[in-house]
Amino acid sequence: MPELPEVETTRRGISPYLEGSKIKKIIIRNRSLRWPIPSELEKKLQNQIIISLNRRGKYLLLETSVGTAIIHLGMSGSIRIVDNDLIPEKHDHFEIITSKNIIARYNDPRRFGCFLWAGKKPENHPLLINLGPEPLDSKFTSNYLYKSTRGKRTPIKQHIMNSRNVVGIGNIYANEALFYAGIDPNRIAGRISEKRISKLVDEIIAVLKKAIKEGGTTLRNYRGGNGMPGYFKQELAVYERENLKCKKCDSLIKRRVLAQRSTYFCRTCQK
DNA sequence: ATGCGGACCTGTTAGC
DNA sequence: TGCTAACAGGTCCGCA
C-alpha cells in the first residue's frame, strides 16, 4: 500500500487529531506484526502528550516527552481516525485513544508493519540509523545521487529503491520516475551520466510532490488518514500498465521482474 | 563490501 | 461456481 506519498498523506491526515493531545489509552489487539509489539509499549505511552507526528522515510514517528514510537505501515497498513462506535475489524491490530476520545486505529491485513519503541534518540534506532536522505530534502541533490551510484553495478531501479541511498521510493514511484527520466530501469547505476542522474533526481522529486498533492495513489483498498482514497492512480504513466500504450510514444508498456518486483517501462522512451 | 534470494503474512484476482 | 496459483504498495536478514 504505502510509499512515501501515502505515508505522508496519512501523517497529514491524522496529525491534527494527535499532536498536542494526551494519550489516554493504547489498545493492542494483536501484537504479532512484523516484530512483536513490545509488551511495555502501551504503558510507556499512556498519559503522555504527543509532541509531534513526524515521518522518516516510510516510518511514522510518534514523539512524546518520554520517547518516540515508530510505526510502519508495511505493505498493506493504514491508520484512520474512526468514530467511537465503529467496531474494530479483523485486522485492526492497535489503536491510540486520546483524552478527547479521538481514536486512531491501525489496520494491517498482511502484518508487515510494526509498532516499536525507539526511546529518546529515535535516529539511532537500528531501523533508522542507516537510512539515506529524504528525497524531498535539500540534501537529496543530483550531485549526491550521482556520487552514490559510482562504482555500483546494481540496476538503477534497485539503487533508488534501496533506503540506504534514498528513502521512501517504492515500486510505484521508482517505475514512474524512471519513465519520466527516460532511463531503462535495468541500466547499471554506475554507468549513467551525471546529466541523466540529474534528470532522474528532478523527476523523483516531481513525481513524489505531485502524488502527495493528489493524496497518494489508491490501488486496491488504500485510504488516507481521513478515509479518503488518493487520486494519483489516474496519473500513473507505466505502473500496472502492461500492454497499454505509452503516454509519450504509443508503443506498448512492457513488464519485467527485476529484483523480484514488477517493473514497467517503455522500450522506446527509456534507454 | 556488496548483492541475492528468502522470509514474513493475508487478500484479491486471473485462469482453468 | 469453485479451486489453485500468481501476485500485491516493504524491507530485514542470512548467506554467498
The pLDDT tens digits of the residues spanning A214-246 come to 887 766 655 555 666 677 777 899 999 999 999
CA distances from A68 to A31, A55, A117, A218 (A): 18, 12, 6, 29
pLDDT at A265: 96
Q: List strand B contacts in A 21-50 (CB < 7 A).
A: 32, 34
Scanning the structure block, which residue is given the C-alpha cell 522500450? A267
Helix and strand element counts for chain A (H, E): 6, 10
A1 has pLDDT over 90: no
Q: Kindly report which amino acid residue has its CA closest to the C1' atom of nucleotide B1.
A: A152
Angstrom distance (rounded) from CA A77 to CA A14: 14
Angstrom distance (rounded) from CA A260 to CA A120: 36
Determine the length of chain A. Answer: 271
The grid coordinates listed for A16 are 491534527
Q: List strand C contacts in A 120-159 (CB < 7 A).
A: 126-127
Label residues A165-187 b or e (16+ Cβ within 10 Å = b): bbbbbbbbbbbbbbbbbbbbbeb
CA distances from A204 to A34, A36, A209 (A): 29, 34, 9
Angstrom distance (rounded) from CA A25 to CA A101: 9
Q: Is the CB of A158 under 7 A from strand B?
A: yes
Tally of CB atoms within 10 A around A28:
16
pLDDT at A222: 54
pLDDT at A50: 98
Give the mean model confidence (pLDDT) for residues A200-219.
89
Nucleotides on chain B that have an atom closer than 7 A to a protein CB are: 2-13
Q: Is the CB of A27 under 7 A from strand C?
A: no
Q: Is the CB of A110 under 7 A from strand B?
A: yes
Average pLDDT over chain A, rounded to an integer: 93
Q: Is the CB of A10 under 7 A from strand C?
A: no
| Amino acid at residue number A34 | R
What are the catalytic residues of A?
2-3, 58, 261
**Å from the A66 CA to the C7 C1':** 42
pLDDT at A121: 96
Tally of CB atoms within 10 A around A15:
19
Nucleotides on chain C that have an atom closer than 7 A to a protein CB are: 7-13
Q: Is the CB of A120 under 7 A from strand B?
A: no
A260, closest nucleotide (Cα–C1'): B5
Give the mean model confidence (pLDDT) for residues A183-201.
96
Per residue in A107-155, pLDDT (tens digit) is 999 999 999 999 999 999 999 999 999 999 999 999 999 999 999 999 9
Angstrom distance (rounded) from CA A226 to CA A202: 30
Per residue in A48-103, pLDDT (tens digit) is 999 999 999 999 999 999 999 999 999 999 999 999 999 999 999 999 999 999 99
Give the mean model confidence (pLDDT) for residues A171-200.
96
pLDDT at A41: 97
